[in-house]
Amino acid sequence: MRNLLLLAILVPALAAGQGPLRVPATVDTLPNGLTLIIHEDHSVPIVTTNVWFHVGSGDEKPGRTGFAHLFEHLMFMGSQNAPYPQFDRLLEAAGANNNGSTTEDRTNYYEEGPSTALPLMIWLEADRMGWLLPTMDAPKVDLQRDVVKNERRQSYENQPYGLVYDYLPKLMYPAGHPYNWPVIGSMTDLSAASLEDVKDFFRRYYAPNNATLVVAGDVKPDDVRALVRRYFADIPRGPALERPAPAPFTVKDTAITLEDRVQLPRLFMNWHTVKGWHADDAALEIASYVLTGSRTSRLTQALVYAGELATGVQAYQDGKRLDGDFMLVATARPGKGLDTLRTVIDAELAKLAAEGPTARELEEAKNATEASFLRGIQQVSGKADRLNAYYYQTGNPDSFQADLDRYKAVTAADVQRVVKQYLRASRVMASVVPQGKLDLAAKKGVIQ
């Protein structure tokens, strides 16, 4: 209901604009290869910087995983002209904040603060891109290696149901595929990494020709260009990078059971699908909403409310740069086994594949998707990250309307087809059950 209400507020505002959704931006490239994208927005006196290094866990090598996420931490450990902990302290003193994140495909670093803080933000970003390596030593790497290991314990080893995320990449993607290991890496690989291994990874990937800087908000483009030239122009270009496409593959129908210190059993079902912006990517996202996106969605009703078999269920399509997968997760109510949930899920998938969604289901899914999309770009920081994402994915930072149009164009026949093609195919199924309760696991079942 809240999604639809928000949409009712936002859509008239867009309609009043009498044109497509636009986030105008300029694109410049420095001689060293750094791409600069500027979006001017004077609605509030706020500015954000958003750097995407086009390096993620997919660029790591087997046996040396976890480096991209390790650098998410190391980049805040000080550089030659801003030694630790000046990066955080200087920004906080200026009223700004900062953070970063890592995926299989990229690592981003972002700051947001008053427009007066822009020169400081630009200088700090440039200093760690150009002059981090001279200050990197074994104590810094060891300190952040331990922090990352502790994060891994919190998210995997000591997190209820967490270990399943260590198994799924290996089961979903074949050996040698860039998505064959988790983003955070393995304990063994993190322990084995030498200081020189880490430095080599930085030299290869953290260079201006492998990065895009978005500056958005209360700025004058000419002032931004002058600042960026002043601080980034002397940073040397890195090596040219080649990323061969992974070989095609099919997922083997698999069912595993993991015992964990949990109270309730949980079922994970995963299918190999398509990468982001593939022609079927949007239809799969709409299908996920039809299945679990609202109180009245098919699986939510069948499992949680009408059936009273599960405490919750959710699904999503994860279209990455090279490949994609669809995950469905359901947690059983006390006393219920996962094979019962699996049977209901298979029946609902078969029904959706046979009949497709109703007109009302399709309309609700599209409205909710559009509302979520618009919420994500209400603030300048959200727009900045999308500008970077669209430039990386499509080559055009202002792809907002094109992205929205993908979802608007999905038909009932599209949803029916992708459910039949992808979600009625071989899958990886993982049952996580309380210790000693193996009888609660789901059986592989037969897909009809």
Catalytic positions = 72
* 96, 114 Cβ separation under 8 angstroms: yes
Query: Which residues does residue 57 pair with via DSSP β-bridges, in sequence order?
Result: none
* 423, 53 Cβ separation under 8 angstroms: no
* Residue 311 exposed, middle or buried by CB count within 10 Å (0-12, 13-18, 19+): middle
* Dist CA 372 CA 129 (whole Å): 34
Q: From start to end of 103-147, where are the E strands? A: 107-114
* Residue 119 exposed, middle or buried by CB count within 10 Å (0-12, 13-18, 19+): middle
Which DSSP symbol is given to 322?
A: S
| Residue-level length of the chain | 448
* Dist CA 107 CA 293 (whole Å): 28
* 387, 328 Cβ separation under 8 angstroms: no
Name residues whose C-beta falls within 8 Å of residue 104's C-beta, 6 or more positions apart in sequence: 56, 57, 58, 178, 179, 183, 320, 321
Which DSSP symbol is given to 64?
A: B
Bond into 174 cis (ω within 30): no
In the block, residue with structure tokens 């700004």 = 96
Element (H, E) at 430: strand 428-434
Name residues whose C-beta falls within 8 Å of residue 378's C-beta, 6 or more positions apart in sequence: none
